Amino acid sequence: MTPSMLSGWELGRRQTSVRYRRMLVEFYKQPAESLFAHQDVPGPAERRTIRAETGDDSALVLVGHHRLHDAMLDVVCNARRYLVVTGSRSRDGRYLTGIEEALRGRPELVHYRVLFGPPRHPLLRDHLLTLLKLRDPEDRSQGFKTLHMGIVEEADTPEKFICASENAAVTPIPSLTSADAFDSAVLLGATAAQQLIGHVRECYAAARRIESTTAVDALPVLRAGRTPASGV
């Protein structure tokens, strides 16, 4: 921890990572809500409607935890035909509940969820079980399958983080603020989003199916020592 880092945090030029937040909370004997309130309250730019910021072929870099999660939720809420999600690190309850509500309210919405390795948090496994309560992967009442869940188990396959609908996509990138944060992404328009839907469908085709409660219950939950604050 250096004076320049402290100055950046105090002036709002940098986000304080989870690791350093713990250290500063212990040092100052103050709750995180007080010490970092100026960083955690989204500004006007972060509260803008995501759809207005990107066209069919544009790309927008998102920086900030609130802005990233608002963008992911916007993709979920505005999905009408497809909602595809990859990654094994999700533990944001609001985001996962948003996916569940989208499936509950739109029976025709086709959902793909592809894990890369076992879930890193129990909340994600619970979410998968909830999806199976909402949808039967064998059901064809809409004329097609609407729930696809799989896991890519090859250890040498890099984990991919994608949240995409037919309208837009969010793909997290390494944090632009600190090594520990999950707070940066690229927001893509409809053209790229539809290509990413095809990408995820190919990942699913190569994945092992986990489309029963037995298969999901059998998944181990990995509690890695250092993981991003959230995930896709």
Strand order in the sheet with 110-116: 59-63, 184-188, 169-172, 162-165, 82-86, 110-116, 147-152, 208-209
Cα–Cα nearest to 167, from 134, 133, 147, 197? 197
* Tokens 């994608």 found at: 162
| Torsions phi, psi for 194 (to 5 deg) | -65, -30
Q: At what angle do helices 65-77 and 93-105 cross, to 10 degrees?
A: 10
Domain topology for 50-217: Endonuclease; Chain A (3.30.870)
The 10s digit of each residue's pLDDT in 86-129 is: 999 998 999 999 999 999 999 999 999 999 999 999 999 999 99
pLDDT at 180: 80
What's the token pair of residue 199? 């990408």
The 10s digit of each residue's pLDDT in 46-79 is: 434 344 444 567 789 999 888 999 999 999 999 9
* Tokens 């496994």 found at: 125
Each domain of the chain, given as residue ranges in start order, spans 3-39, 50-217
Cα–Cα nearest to 181, from 66, 97, 96? 66
The 10s digit of each residue's pLDDT in 8-52 is: 555 555 566 666 677 777 777 777 667 666 565 554 444 343 444
Provide the whole-model pTM: 0.75
